[in-house]
Amino acid sequence: DLALLKAFCKILLDTERLHKQVFDYDFIINNTDGFDEFIAELDKTNLEELIAQTGVSSKEVHQAAELLINNNK
């Protein structure tokens, strides 16, 4: 579900901006294109609207995102 994936990305981005390193910038710089544009698009989206589109509770989305944030791989 695209809305769910975007919600995860938005939560990860918000966490990154709170000074907790989430993203592997070396990997992003060396292996991806369009990251800045993707971030700009995420900035235009409303997290609660994304979550509402998923059919999953906000609590469950945030809990799953926390698993991603705390994974050291």
Residue 14: the pLDDT is: 96
Here the contacts of 35-40 (C-beta below 8 Å, separation 24 or greater) are 38/9, 39/13
pLDDT at 71: 84
The per-residue pLDDT for 12 is 96
Q: What integer best gives the mean pLDDT of the chain? A: 94
Alpha helices by DSSP H, the chain: 2-17, 25-31, 35-43, 47-54, 58-70
pLDDT tens-digit readout, 29-39: 999 999 999 99
Please tell me the predicted confidence (pLDDT) of residue 63.
Answer: 97
Give the residues of the chain that fall short of pLDDT 50.
Answer: none
Report the predicted TM-score, pTM, of the whole model to 2 decimal places. Answer: 0.89
The two tokens of residue 42 are: 């995420």
User: Residue 49 phi/psi, 5° resolution?
Assistant: -65, -40
Pair 8, 62: CB distance under 8 Å = no
